[in-house]
Amino acid sequence: MLPKSTLYVVATPIGNLRDISLRALDILAAVDVIAAEDTRTTGHLLAHHSIAGKMMALHQHNERTAAEKIIALLAAGKSVALVTDAGTPGISDPGAILVSIVREQGYRVTPIPGANAALCALSAGGIAEPHFLFYGFLPAKTGARKRALEGLKSQPYTLAFYEAPHRILECVADLVAVLGAQRQLIFARELTKLFETIHTCALGDALAWLQADANQQKGEFVLLLSGAEVQDEAGISDQSRHTLELLLENLPLKQAVKLAAEITGESRKMLYALALSLKVGNSVQ
């Protein structure tokens, strides 16, 4: 028996229909009503798991009116599950309005965790940087998209975007235009599905890779982009500093600076100043 008057926010698979928790299946089988973004998509999931649930529609165009109906159900002691087409409700998906109304009215909201496309991509991306910024969908039009990217340009965190197949080429073109060609990009396409692809490349090589195989432009994407390089006060990145330090261990100062400038593209004058300060620092120790 489920507790009465509770809204369960239930994560569903992002592709493979078996990527759903046992608890989620128990809840879906036991609630009085399942509020679904698309009742056909959820019907397919329920049928796959032999669950016969009573459904109602809750999507971005009716969320407030559906929320009123759900409040009436909760007031009558019923339990309700919220699901979207894929992944976790409320994450680039409907759900936040309903959840806030239900909580405002004093009813219990319980999350049932599970799949999320961004976390799934991050888990298989192999990115050592521990912090990330989940952005979700960028604006659909290029001007607004570039403005949004300008606002993210200096963030040092891995950036996680969602993108639709019909916008993938223009989105990648704007990413290169605003963030430059050097950053690392991980395409995570069709995760947990038949044509799952996880491809890493320099952002500057991404368009050519996509254009070389039209199949790679199909399906659903998560894009993970390395963050802005952290620079010291003089504007030298951590990576350039590291290169200089390695060269200084084996070469005379002037030669190390010359090579470091060629490798990193940083100003020779600034690298020289940094090399001097590193040498002084080392001799003081």
Q: Quick one: 5 or 88, whose CB is closer to ligand SAM?
A: 88
Q: Are 188 and 128 in contact (CB under 8 A)?
A: no
Q: Residues binding ligand SAM: what is the number (CB under 6 A)?
A: 24
Q: How far is the CB of 223 from ligand SAM (least distance, A)?
A: 8
Tell me if 88 contacts ligand SAM by CB under 6 A. Answer: yes
Binding mask 195-234 for ligand SAM (x = CB under 6 A): -------------------------xxx------------
In terms of Cα–Cα distance, which of 136, 135, 137, 172 is closest to 155? 135
Can you list the positions of beta strands (E) in the chain?
6-10, 33-36, 55-57, 80-83, 108-112, 132-137, 158-163, 184-189, 197-202, 221-225
List the structure tokens of 163.
Answer: 């993108």
Q: How far apart are CA 213 and CA 157, in angstroms?
A: 30
Question: Which parts of 114-133 interact with ligand SAM (CB under 6 A)?
Answer: 116-118
Q: How far apart are CA 178 and CA 231, in angstroms?
A: 19
Tell me if 107 contacts ligand SAM by CB under 6 A. Answer: no
Q: How far is the CB of 192 from ligand SAM (least distance, A)?
A: 6
Candidates 162-170, 208-216, 257-265, 266-274; binding stretch for ligand SAM (CB under 6 A): 162-170
Tell me if 94 contacts ligand SAM by CB under 6 A. Answer: no
DSSP state of 60: T
In the complex, the residues that contact ligand SAM under the rule CB under 6 A are: 14-15, 84, 86-88, 91-93, 116-118, 162-164, 188-193, 220-222
